[in-house]
Structure 1
Amino acid sequence: MSDNGMGDDGAASYDVLKLKDELLASTTHPQVRDILSDDQLAGTRLGEAMIRVIDVQLRLHAEQDVKYREMIDERDEDIVLPVTRPGSGDGDDNVLPAGSDGQQPPTLFAHAAARVAIELGKASEEEARSIAKRVPLVASPAFKTALFKFVRLPYAVLSQALRFASTVVTTGDAGGGGANREAETIDEWIIRNEKYMRARLVLDQAREDEPMASSVDDDPSPSLSQLGIDKSASHWKQFMVGLGRDAQSVFMGTGDAKGASNSTIRIQRPDKADLPGLLLLDHHRKDAIEINTLPAFQARFDSMTLGALKGLDWSNVLVAGGIALGALTGTTDEEAQKSEGSDIDLYLYGLTVDQANAKLQEIEKVFLANLPVDKDTGKQIKHAILRNSQTITFVPERYPFRRVQVVLKLCPNPMAILLNFDLDQVAIGYSGDEVWMLPRASRALVTGFTTFTMDLIHGSFLAPRKASQDRRIFKYGKRGYGLRFLPSYIATLRTVSLDERTTTERDVPEESLPRDELHVTLREERARVSWWLAQRNHFFKMPFEKRLLQMVTVDCRTANSGEIAERSSLSCWQLFARHVALWELAQVGYFVLSDEIESWVEDAYSDDPLSYQDGPEFRWDESFTLETLQNAVKWANERDEERLEDSFRGLDIIPSPWRNYRMPRDEREALVKTNTEKYINERMPLKRSILASSLREAFAEPLVAMTHLPKNLRAYVEAELKQSLTRFADVTKGDAPSHAFIPNWATPEQAVTIRSDSEAVLSYWIHGPNEKTSQTTESEATMVEKTGGTIAPHWQLVSRKTDEVFEILHAFRRAHKDLNVEANLRNRSTRRQVSRRLVRPTERSERDAFMRWVYTRTPDFTGWYGDTEDWTMLKVPRWVVFHRFELTKQAAREWKGEPYDFTDWLEDDETDRKPLLPAPKTVEEWMAMSFGSSRYDWNVWHRQRIPPVELLPAIVQGTAALVATPTAD
């Protein structure tokens, strides 16, 4: 058995999937990784590498567009479930060509089934019943099986056809479990169907640097032509689910479909037993829910948004995300209250940049017109406009009036917008006249689960689907939406041998338990966290409301890596399973894990975060005021100014106090003043966020950030962006010191790296108007005239090259925010940031990525807490966790051949020779097992138990409130 408890087979599989370079993200394309893997990249060489990376990315994107167009022409059977395709297994995550044992082409029967399904999908309810009676095919057991082979059908069409299909067990279900297998098949079909939908977006491509896809007359799928679908466009409406249009088809088969009134639709969810796979975070999932009909949704949306969008011209506007889900499921005021703090997130689509800028001004007028009136003054309440590089947010003075946030991404259509959403249930949008949702969103409403794919872990902000965050997954767990791993994913994993113990329960036969790596690791972490909590048994002396815990308390501080999830609990399955186990214990009443005190690993320990929310941090609740927002913006910008000052010291432009500690203070301050005048150009205020009272005021001054760029890269970027409002200015003068002081003890190699900073230039990165009009270039003047003023944000997804350039710039800005950090560390951070931010253009192996994520173990951590019992039990291998009740103290201390000196536990009592007691059945029995007259009288630390869940009501006020309990030392 290996140290990680996986056994030889599991370890061997993991060795195959190890990353070639842990610094870089596994999501990075191999060609980009090869460029970034050179540890000597610095200065000009680093700049050259970034220019090459941009060129490679653009070429790969073009190749992927070709593959998307080919996919549109592919046969349905060639659009396979990604996790079933073999990967290269070499860490590059390349997808291998499909073998010859693929699925057979559809038969004439299957083609006939597809045509019948489309006729059913187009028909009214009465017509569909007539077709089902008239066509014997619909009642045949093979009809349903044939339908699932056509992944290019619109989901609403498939759903309508399935409603009238035979309930007879389908082919392949001869062993039983028809409902169970159908649920698995539907969810696999949805993943394949979304892959096809994503490919169809290329038909609507209208980026500035690429032509619109041309119309093609020959459609390889005559059956789709029955629905008016060809290759002239994506036909996104046909592939989405519309609440008003498709509710009958998609939701009416889930139950009696009659809600509490005519304004709601009742969805009777399937039993969990009929949803195969691993189900998590489902404590708050309901067996049935009601959703609003379209008219009821519109009424609820208006009431929830307090009329903030009244009078809006909804053309080319989509409200998407949590507020749309809340208005859909908020059939009662109580349900709607759960989304009280949600923003109104607006996305614009199908517009040019000029049109989008005009729309932005229209949205401002609507927001201002709908501001509520202050009862005391009789005037509208105050407001502010918050601008940063990613969003424009219209902020009312008071909570809970809604903030309206415009996301600065221009998409071709609503389907492209919703495909980018992480969790299934939030891939819902409202266009003013219809509620649109992805098939996976409508399916999540039916099942109560998000279906897991590696996009949740490795997606990117500008990728077709972005990654999720652990806090969002757990937040929606509280709101009733769990997480589900499909059997097809579990089937890729090794089976743990029956020789290995995988439970601490003696009366549970090993052969009765699922033995794949996913389930076994989950059982391991549930047992580990229960053990960890049991060791803190003093916790239960307190009343329930005072038992406060944070997610971060069960983390082992994962090492810096290039992975997108990096330090969040999503960085590997073991750590996520550990956080799931902690969350589960909170839900059943062991302790409080409240929103106010939840602290996340990524927040607490990430020193190089991949953040796209670059705005100031402030609370949006009853305590909010515009003054607090103003202070948050001011503090964020002042922090950047302080970092710039520190960078001056790092480059030895002004004297550093710690290096010149012997210099008299007056002399040092005089030198600071002299060098400032001598070496530093006129300062520009750093403002990555701007708070203003109007859009025009928000754009009257530019966004300004500090970045440290290789000179050749800056020249390249300036040439590429010369037609935009983005520009650069030198922070320092030409003769200013350009690298840190080189100490006497530096090696020649270190000295070369330090001097490489002289090949870079400290720059202001500016987006917006040039306040010095005399220096305005002709292209900038043309741009201002073209935009009709200065309201011209940077819209993403307009130019692919510009997006790639901006991602590189953001990577440099974050990695070089403090030039006191050693140059080699900053350059490594740059490479890591770039590898994480750039979207991998081509398809990667879902199977390889999933297996690596599951098999990766949390790294050991030895920090300031030392090797205490609390931390030891978070580090011990699997076999210790599952055998802990049989271990002697000596074996527990030497679990890895390395004795741990737990002096508190070295008293020579007879504990090791005492028989293991059964689980306690009363509070008194549990207290007797868990507490003694002193710490030395406790049972050995590795045999502690938490109280059984049925005993929790008896200790809700804490054991201290019960009979007198001896206290531990």
Structure 2
Amino acid sequence: MVGDEPVYNRGWPVVSTAANTELRAVLLSQKQSIAKATVEVQLRNWEKAEAAALAKVESKGLGQLLGFDFDNIVFKGELGEHAESDVDAISTAISQADESLKNDIWTWERLPYAIRCLGVARSSSNTEEGSSSAERPAKRSRVQGKDELVPDLDEWIIRNERFLRALSRRPDPAPDAWKFGLVRMNQLPIVFGAACTAVVDDATGATTALKIHRGPVSSLPGYTVLDGKRIENIFIQPSNKAFKKRWDFMTDGLLEGLNWSNIVVAGGIILGALLTPEVSGANKPEEWQSSDIDAYIYGLSPTLANKKIEHIAATCKKNLPPGSPFLVVRNSQTITIYSKWPRRRVQIVLKLVKSPREVLLNFDLDICGCTWDGTDVYLLPRCVRTLETATNTFVMDLINGHYLGDRKATRDKRVFKYANKGYGLRILPSYISSLATYDSEKNLSAIACGERHFPTVSVSKLAAAARAWTSRVVRKYIQAGHDNTPFHWPYKAYQPAKSDKPVFSHAMLESYHQVTSEPLGRSCLTGFTLFMRHVALWELEVEGKISIYEDLWATDTYGEGARKALDDHNRQESQVAQWNTYDRYGKLPLPAARITYGDSVEQVLLPKNDILIPLTLDWSFFKFANSNIVSALQRAKKSGELDDSDCVAPLTLVGDALPGEDEETIDDVEVIALWRLSKVLNWQMLDRRIDEIREVLWAYHRANERLIAEEDTRQQFLLTNISKRAIRTTVEDEHEALGCFIFRSPLARWVARKPYNEKATTNGVL
């Protein structure tokens, strides 16, 4: 124990610092039925968050500011659809206002991005000195509602996104309401302003691309890393028509003929098609060769969503050459359609989102926040800003976010993947200045939650120390004779790379001791110093001193024999479950199916192909989970979304694992169960109660993967996994979480995990 915080024997806290205050109190209470109490407190917090968000958008429109009711202004279409005429309408409506207010109104956090950009540009040109109101924030202090006026553009984007999330929670929105706040393709010249010029074909006079000029990275406020591959100019598609042509080429016509209603594709493949116009100097399609087609279904019930997946699969199969292999794979979060490499996989994410805007708002990295609905491209303001600056803005959701919350956390391999494409990471000045709160040991210990923190020093000093650490490690590896063979366990698992430089991997900076209770586990993103060690390795490659072997992080290709590999995976899962439970229960029938597959979507959605996960859990939570999930399914049935056959309890006891009636504390007895994810329960976001229970069930699964551990240790594992997996709608205290991230000390200060190499000199570099 450190203070009131339990810690593991290696020094890291049992409960994640990402757990909110109320959940933390439950997990540390040492009461019985912690799993049930977790679900209940999570639901209370979610209901509060929903109510608070809806309170911000009580008006059907934007509401009032500066004494003006924006809902009474007549716009041409929906606000934001026609930016130039909308700015004219607003300017006319506020024509009698004080001059400073006319300028400041364009920084209102509720306005669409295109209107803000155009309004600020016009007001800037109208001021005597040619400067915008963003440079004169002091005048805003006299304005009622000043908190919603945000002169700094990066801060405005963060605040505007909170408003868009609140809008997304409105019940029964209009069909196209999701488009509000997003940037359309034809608005890109407006939002980029003077930085954007058209590239015109001399022969035809047609615009073939938009060229975006970027200022130096030194002109951007804040602390920037991973900018070594940033380029001065980028080129983007000039129109939806040009985008569609590139999209068809990059997807090889795989979705030709698709009925796009209630379907969007988002993420990297859209970015790739956007950034590859057919002009000299533009990015090349080959740079996105490994990108999947990530599809999302919105606004449908589970039954209709499954029908949509069948339609997507049928469309893909129809567009394949005759005789092409075709495989549909189902797991707990996606259904993926495979053919033969290099034809792209189509991955359908099993989340019942309300709208495409909700899909975009959940993206981790800013640069990925773009989508295609078969007709138009839409971008989040933060995606547009990143195209302009080549930097993703750092927020704590990148570290502590949740894929079922407002915004999911990212992964280290994604951060470095996009750094290699020229998109770095920037911590805003307001974040840096907030660290002054922890300028004393007392203030820092108040947020420690049992962690070891560095003394409060500047971000630049922490970064310098991390770079020195990595340089020392690399130098000692080279002195020990390391060459161009990737260095990882088991020895000689990887062939020498085609490089005349020493070849390193990010795994070589890691240790088995680098384990945390944070949501990202062993990721280098769990702390700033650890992250900067990996940034330093990347910088050494940019400088030409080493090469980095990326495949130790991720393999983007897929080979033959997929069916056998999936069968082997499920067989191994079943064998582990049987081994775990044998000493206590004897031999039990524990069929595991973490991944299933078939020749069609219809086949993989059959009950015999449901996902089956063996669990060890408390009898009380077994009953609680079944009862509440069935109740939620029945509510969905009443609304017409499901049938009677869909309202089935997901947990079943295995063999003779039922607790005896003579047990004194029967509810606390552990039971063995099979957790079935049906074609309905495979979908997330059908009901929040189901989602919260689902995350706790996953926590049980992870905590009890090895029943050989002592019961007290497994209880600690359960607390850790609940605190990691519990859905976080958003970060509770952004700056407090930042303090934990910045000053967190890496748990391991050495590299060698075990003998990776037969050479004695490389068995323990540090």
Q: TM-score range with shorter-chain normalisation?
A: 0.7 to 0.9
The answer (yes or no) to whether the contact 2:62–2:110 under 8 Å persists in 1 is: no
1:523 maps onto 2:464 in alignment: yes
1:491 maps onto 2:425 in alignment: no
Q: Which residue of 1 aligns with 2:25?
A: 34
Which of 576, 600, 617 is 1:694 aligned to? Answer: 600
The answer (yes or no) to whether the contact 1:493–1:516 under 8 Å persists in 2 is: no
CA distance in 1, matches of 2:616, 2:475: 50
Read off the aligned partner of 1:803 and give its amino acid letter.
D
- What does 1:76-225 correspond to in 2, within 5 Å? 107=66, 143-148=102-107, 150-167=108-125, 168-170=130-132, 173=135, 185-204=152-171
Compared with structure 1, are the counterparts of its residues 730 and 127 closer, same or farther at alpha carbon in structure 2 (3 Å cutoff)? closer
State the identity %: 28
1:624 maps onto 2:559 in alignment: yes
Which of 840, 853, 856 is 2:728 aligned to? Answer: 840
Compared with structure 1, are the counterparts of its residues 19 and 318 closer, same or farther at alpha carbon in structure 2 (3 Å cutoff)? farther
Q: Which residue of 1 aligns with 2:670?
A: 760
Which of 852, 873, 898 is 2:740 aligned to? Answer: 852
Which of 338, 342, 362 is 2:311 aligned to? Answer: 362
Q: Which residue of 2 aligns with 1:648?
A: 581
The 3-state SS of whatever aligns with 2:163 is helix
The answer (yes or no) to whether the contact 1:347–1:406 under 8 Å persists in 2 is: yes
CA distance in 1, matches of 2:735, 2:62: 19
Which of 321, 330, 346 is 2:295 aligned to? Answer: 346
Q: Which residue of 1 aligns with 2:146?
A: none
- What does 1:9-24 correspond to in 2, within 5 Å? 22-24=13-15
Compared with structure 1, are the counterparts of its residues 539 and 296 closer, same or farther at alpha carbon in structure 2 (3 Å cutoff)? farther
The answer (yes or no) to whether the contact 2:254–2:319 under 8 Å persists in 1 is: yes
CA distance in 2, matches of 1:68, 1:118: 26
The answer (yes or no) to whether the contact 2:659–2:666 under 8 Å persists in 1 is: no
- Where in structure 1 are there 5+ consecutive unaligned residues? 1-14, 79-104, 176-181, 205-211, 214-231, 374-378, 498-514, 600-618, 655-675, 739-751, 769-790, 875-969
Structure 1 residues 718-761: Cα deviation after superposition (integer angstroms, max 9, x where no partner): 222334345333223158999xxxxxxxxxxxxx99x9998111
Read off the aligned partner of 2:359 and give its amino acid letter.
I
How high is the TM-score relative to the length of structure 1?
0.64
The 3-state SS of whatever aligns with 1:410 is strand
Q: Bigger radius of gyration, 1 or 2?
A: 1
Q: Which residue of 1 aligns with 2:54?
A: 69
Structure 1 residues 397-419: Cα deviation after superposition (integer angstroms, max 9, x where no partner): x1111211110001111111111
The answer (yes or no) to whether the contact 2:508–2:751 under 8 Å persists in 1 is: no
CA distance in 1, matches of 2:62, 2:375: 36
CA distance in 2, matches of 1:433, 1:139: 42
Structure 1 residues 751-806: Cα deviation after superposition (integer angstroms, max 9, x where no partner): x99x99981111111234xxxxxxxxxxxxxxxxxxxxxx5462111101111111
Structure 1 residues 787-830: Cα deviation after superposition (integer angstroms, max 9, x where no partner): xxxx5462111101111111111111122122222222222111
Which of 712, 719, 724 is 1:824 aligned to? Answer: 712
- The answer to which of 536-545 and 408-417 deviates more is 536-545
Read off the aligned partner of 1:393 and give its amino acid letter.
T
Deviation at 1:858, TM superposition (A): 1.5
Deviation at 1:329, TM superposition (A): 0.7
Deviation at 1:174, TM superposition (A): 7.6
- The answer to which of 294-303 and 550-559 deviates more is 550-559
CA distance in 1, matches of 2:753, 2:504: 17
Read off the aligned partner of 1:57 and give its amino acid letter.
Q
The alignment yields a C-alpha RMSD, in angstroms, of 4.1
Deviation at 1:871, TM superposition (A): 11
- What does 1:300-311 correspond to in 2, within 5 Å? 300-311=246-257
Structure 1 residues 891-940: Cα deviation after superposition (integer angstroms, max 9, x where no partner): xxxxxxxxxxxxxxxxxxxxxxxxxxxxxxxxxxxxxxxxxxxxxxxxxx
Which of 392, 410, 415 is 2:357 aligned to? Answer: 415
- What does 1:739-818 correspond to in 2, within 5 Å? 759-768=669-678, 792=680, 794-818=682-706
Read off the aligned partner of 2:601 and give its amino acid letter.
L
Deviation at 1:132, TM superposition (A): 8.7
CA distance in 2, matches of 1:805, 1:485: 35
CA distance in 2, matches of 1:555, 1:32: 31
Q: Which residue of 1 aligns with 2:181?
A: 239
The 3-state SS of whatever aligns with 1:338 is helix
Which of 53, 58, 71 is 2:43 aligned to? Answer: 58
Which of 290, 299, 309 is 2:235 aligned to? Answer: 290
Compared with structure 1, are the counterparts of its residues 290 and 259 closer, same or farther at alpha carbon in structure 2 (3 Å cutoff)? farther
Q: Which residue of 1 aligns with 2:259?
A: 313
Q: Which residue of 1 aligns with 2:623?
A: 715
Deviation at 1:446, TM superposition (A): 1.1
Deviation at 1:429, TM superposition (A): 0.8
The 3-state SS of whatever aligns with 2:350 is strand
The answer (yes or no) to whether the contact 1:556–1:858 under 8 Å persists in 2 is: no
The answer (yes or no) to whether the contact 1:517–1:854 under 8 Å persists in 2 is: no
The size of the alignment, in residue pairs, is 684
Deviation at 1:707, TM superposition (A): 0.3
- Where in structure 2 are there 5+ consecutive unaligned residues? 138-148, 440-455, 485-498, 634-646
Read off the aligned partner of 2:131 and give its amino acid letter.
V
Deviation at 1:169, TM superposition (A): 2.8
The 3-state SS of whatever aligns with 1:729 is strand
Compared with structure 1, are the counterparts of its residues 290 and 763 closer, same or farther at alpha carbon in structure 2 (3 Å cutoff)? same
Deviation at 1:546, TM superposition (A): 4.8
Q: Which residue of 2 aligns with 1:455?
A: 397
Compared with structure 1, are the counterparts of its residues 793 and 31 closer, same or farther at alpha carbon in structure 2 (3 Å cutoff)? closer
Q: Which residue of 2 aligns with 1:571?
A: 526
Read off the aligned partner of 1:535 and give its amino acid letter.
K
Compared with structure 1, are the counterparts of its residues 465 and 865 closer, same or farther at alpha carbon in structure 2 (3 Å cutoff)? closer
Deviation at 1:453, TM superposition (A): 0.5
Q: Which residue of 2 aligns with 1:425?
A: 367
The answer (yes or no) to whether the contact 2:515–2:747 under 8 Å persists in 1 is: no
The answer (yes or no) to whether the contact 2:114–2:191 under 8 Å persists in 1 is: yes
Which of 537, 550, 566 is 1:595 aligned to? Answer: 550
Read off the aligned partner of 1:185 and give its amino acid letter.
D
Compared with structure 1, are the counterparts of its residues 111 and 135 closer, same or farther at alpha carbon in structure 2 (3 Å cutoff)? closer
- The answer to which of 825-834 and 462-471 deviates more is 825-834
CA distance in 2, matches of 1:588, 1:849: 33
Deviation at 1:270, TM superposition (A): 2.4
Which of 16, 26, 30 is 1:25 aligned to? Answer: 16
Q: Which residue of 1 aligns with 2:489?
A: none
CA distance in 2, matches of 1:433, 1:297: 10
> Runs of 4+ in structure 1 displaced over 6 angstroms?
15-21, 108-112, 114-122, 126-142, 735-738, 755-758, 862-874
The 3-state SS of whatever aligns with 1:493 is helix
CA distance in 2, matches of 1:569, 1:421: 20
The answer (yes or no) to whether the contact 2:113–2:181 under 8 Å persists in 1 is: yes
How high is the TM-score relative to the length of structure 2?
0.80
- The answer to which of 416-425 and 825-834 deviates more is 825-834
The answer (yes or no) to whether the contact 1:384–1:693 under 8 Å persists in 2 is: yes
1:281 maps onto 2:198 in alignment: no
Which of 265, 268, 292 is 1:322 aligned to? Answer: 268
Q: Which residue of 2 aligns with 1:667?
A: none
CA distance in 2, matches of 1:324, 1:684: 42
